[in-house]
Structure 1
Amino acid sequence: MNYSTEPAVIIVPGLNDPTPDHWLHQLACSHARVVPRPPEGAHLDRDAWVASLESTVSAITDDIVLVAHSAGVLTVVHWAQRPSREIQAALLITPPDFEKPPTNAPEIRRIGAAHGWCPIPRGRLPFPTTLAASTSDPFATDRRVIGMAEAWGSRPVHLGPVGHLDPAAGYGPWPRATSLLTELISTTTHSTTEVHR
Structure 2
Amino acid sequence: MAVQVLTLPGWLSSGPQHWQTRWEQRYGFVRVEQHDWLTPRRGDWMARLEDVVGDAAGPVVLVAHSLGCILTAAWAVHSRHTGRVRGALLVAPGDVEQPDLAAHLPGWAPIVRRALPFSSVLVASRDDPYCRFERAQGLAADWGSRFIDAGARGHLNAESGLGDWPEALDWIAPWRDAAPGV
Q: TM-score, normalised by structure 2?
A: 0.89
Identity of aligned residues (%): 32
Q: Which blocks of at least 5 consecutive residues in structure 1 are unaligned?
A: 101-105
Match of 1:108 among 101, 112, 115: 101
Q: Partner of 1:81: helix, strand, or coil? A: helix
* C-alpha distance 191-161 of structure 1, shift in aligned 2 (>3 A): farther
How many residue pairs end up in the alignment?
179
Match of 2:146 among 155, 163, 171: 155
Distance 2:37 2:140 in 1: 31
* C-alpha distance 191-173 of structure 1, shift in aligned 2 (>3 A): closer
**1:95 maps to 2:93:** yes
8 Å CA contact 1:13–1:71 kept in 2: the answer is yes
What is the match of residue 48 of structure 1?
Answer: 44
8 Å CA contact 1:44–1:111 kept in 2: the answer is no
Q: Which blocks of at least 5 consecutive residues in structure 2 are unaligned?
A: none
Could you report, residue by residue, the CA deviation over 1:104-125 in whole angstroms, capped at 9, with x for unpaired residues?
A: xx5312134x2x1111011111
Q: Which amino acid aligns with 1:70?
A: S
8 Å CA contact 2:125–2:150 kept in 1: the answer is yes
**Aligned-residue offset at 1:39:** 3.5
**1:36 maps to 2:33:** yes
8 Å CA contact 1:95–1:140 kept in 2: the answer is yes
What is the match of residue 78 of structure 1?
Answer: 74
**1:60 maps to 2:56:** yes
Distance 1:6 1:192 in 2: 11
**1:128 maps to 2:119:** yes
Runs of 4+ in 1 over 2 A off after TM superposition: 168-173, 183-186, 189-193
**Which one has the largest radius of gyration?**
1
**Aligned-residue offset at 1:170:** 2.5
Q: Partner of 1:131: helix, strand, or coil? A: strand
